[in-house]
């Protein structure tokens, strides 16, 4: 009697398992034909890619696993790991605080002493928020500072690097280095507006940098807009001057151009000095760097937007320096040191405790993916995305990812199937990838990871899109 019940119970379990297996698309032992064809057109060998399509809930076997255990350079896809770790460790409401100190009495609008601004790693201290900070200083009744404005950048201890060292593009804002007092991503935004007289284009700069001469206009020229930046013949190497030896094509209309300031170390000093003067205030001393005196209490704190908003900026627009700010903040908050080494240690500990080591631990460098050294396997990244999907933080992470055909880095890429996906992209020389969540036609949600490491990696994007389409068509 007992044996017959056991047999019946086992038969029921086998029947249930068979039904579950039948309801799941079979594991692909090779790449889908449309993906293979796209890789062939891109001249990217299948041995140079890793791809994985797995159930977001992790309750079914993967639909496809191609070289999924091989560590790859993920480019900016690595921002997924940094941002989810930050959401998990710091919480979506976490905010950075920038204390401002007044060292001396204030009488008749004059501060008889120094003003201190202490950076704590705020990734979004853009010009508008710096202006608000300065307005709050004026709200204390300060319109003249008899001493100095002192900037404390000591919270982060990251070595200054040559912005051109990574790829020779030092004027590109994406190469900006992290800073405890990161102001406006260390960049200058220039707006070119042709005048009605048809002779010149006016140039507006944000921010005004103290001690930097900025050319006010540039002659107009005829012809197509074309490569208008090259036509301007910019002279950006001199830290005391921004100028142009060329012309601006009238056909371009209004254009904006963001460039990284050529002397990043002095950017904060120049930006704060320029902002204070532009607001009509006076400084009898100088803007300089230095620590806040021990025991001094802040007059107020400027508070950043919450981490959830910062994470959206990082992932939607693949902002490298903001990701590195978050990465160093993890070291500062978890290990009490704002160094790359502390951040890597914090990330390794978090990964082991939260994600596990079954698929191998990633290699962390700076957390942004702007690195030749960072590595992660498709299996490891997919497991993290599955953990994130089942966590209370899932809405914050998913909403931070570019929506295919809608916004961010995916606004111009659509699915032929008409499906929907939230995916992080990444591109470096010899590396490209995409990872995130795809909404299947069946109603299921899939984790999709695809990375190529090859000289033609950038040309593999159509193959990634074909994989996403294949994942979406699951009914």
Query: What is the tens place of the pLDDT at every residue in 78-132?
Result: 999 999 999 999 999 999 999 999 999 999 999 999 999 999 999 999 999 999 9
Q: How far apart are CA 195 and CA 148, in angstroms?
A: 40
pLDDT confidence of residue 308: 98
pLDDT confidence of residue 25: 46
Q: Please report the domains of the chain, with CATH numbers, ordered by start residue.
A: 24-93+307-472 (3.40.710.10), 96-304 (3.50.80.20)
Residues 6+ apart with CB under 8 A from 266: 239
Q: How far apart are CA 216 and CA 147, in angstroms?
A: 31
pLDDT confidence of residue 237: 94
Query: Could you give the percent of the chain with pLDDT greater than 90?
Result: 85
Span 349-364, average pLDDT: 93
> How are beta strands 144-145 and 110-111 bridged, if at all?
parallel
196 pLDDT band (50/70/90 cuts)?
confident
Average pLDDT, the chain: 92
Question: For the ranges 67-71, 90-94, 363-367, 410-414, which has the lowest average pLDDT?
Answer: 410-414
Query: Could you give the percent of the chain with pLDDT greater than 70?
Result: 94
Of residues 15 and 291, more confidently modeled = 291
pLDDT confidence of residue 23: 41
Tokens of 341: 């080494």
CA dist list (Å): 315 to 76, 84, 368, 409 = 9, 11, 10, 9
| pTM of this structure | 0.91
24 pLDDT band (50/70/90 cuts)?
very low
pLDDT confidence of residue 1: 43
Span 207-217, average pLDDT: 97
pLDDT confidence of residue 415: 79
pLDDT higher than threshold 80 for residue 310: yes
pLDDT confidence of residue 29: 56
Cβ neighbour number for residue 197 with a 10 Å cutoff = 7
174 pLDDT band (50/70/90 cuts)?
confident
pLDDT higher than threshold 60 for residue 11: no
């Amino acid at each position: 009697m007992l044996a017959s019940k056991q047999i019946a119970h086992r038969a029921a379990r086998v029947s249930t398992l068979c039904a579950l297996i039948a309801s799941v698309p079979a594991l692909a032992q090779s790449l889908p034909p449309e993906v293979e064809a796209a890789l062939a057109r891109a001249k990217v060998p299948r041995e140079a890619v890793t791809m994985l399509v797995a159930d977001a809930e992790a309750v079914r076997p993967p639909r496809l696993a191609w070289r999924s255990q091989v560590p790859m350079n993920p480019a900016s896809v690595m921002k997924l790991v940094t941002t989810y770790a930050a959401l998990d460790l710091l919480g979506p409401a976490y905010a950075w605080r920038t204390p401002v100190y007044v060292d001396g009495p204030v009488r008749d609008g004059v501060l008889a002493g120094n003003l201190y601004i202490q950076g704590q790693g705020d990734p979004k201290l853009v010009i508008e928020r710096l202006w608000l900070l300065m307005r709050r200083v004026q709200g204390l009744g300060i319109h003249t500072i008899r001493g100095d404005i002192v900037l404390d950048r000591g919270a982060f201890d990251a070595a200054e690097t040559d912005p051109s060292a990574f790829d020779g593009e030092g004027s590109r804002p994406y190469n900006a280095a992290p800073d405890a007092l990161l102001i406006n991503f260390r960049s200058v935004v220039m707006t070119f507006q042709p005048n009605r007289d048809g002779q010149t284009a006016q140039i507006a700069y944000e921010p005004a940098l103290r001690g930097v001469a900025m050319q006010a206009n540039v002659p107009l020229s005829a012809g197509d807009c074309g490569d208008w930046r090259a036509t301007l013949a910019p002279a950006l190497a001199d830290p005391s001057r921004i100028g142009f030896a060329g012309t601006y094509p009238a056909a371009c209309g209004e254009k904006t151009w963001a460039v990284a300031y050529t002397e990043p170390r002095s950017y904060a000093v120049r930006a704060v000095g320029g902002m204070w003067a532009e607001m009509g205030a006076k400084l009898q001393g100088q803007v300089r760097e230095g620590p806040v005196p021990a025991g001094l209490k802040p007059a107020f704190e400027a508070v950043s937007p919450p981490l959830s908003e910062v994470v959206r900026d990082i992932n939607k627009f693949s902002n490298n320096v903001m990701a590195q700010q978050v990465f160093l903040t993890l070291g500062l908050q978890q290990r009490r040191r704002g160094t790359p080494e502390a951040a890597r240690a914090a990330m390794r500990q978090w990964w082991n405790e939260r994600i596990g080591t079954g698929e191998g631990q990633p290699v962390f460098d700076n957390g942004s993916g702007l690195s030749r050294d960072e590595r992660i396997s498709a299996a490891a990244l997919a497991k993290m995305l599955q953990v994130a999907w089942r966590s209370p933080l899932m809405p914050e992470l998913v909403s931070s990812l570019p929506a295919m055909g809608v916004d961010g880095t995916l606004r111009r890429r659509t699915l032929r199937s008409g499906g929907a996906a939230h995916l992080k992209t990444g591109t470096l020389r010899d590396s490209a990838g995409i990872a995130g969540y795809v909404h299947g036609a069946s109603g299921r949600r899939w984790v999709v990871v695809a990375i190529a490491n090859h000289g033609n990696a950038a040309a593999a994007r159509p193959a990634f899109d074909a994989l996403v389409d294949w994942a979406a068509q699951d009914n």
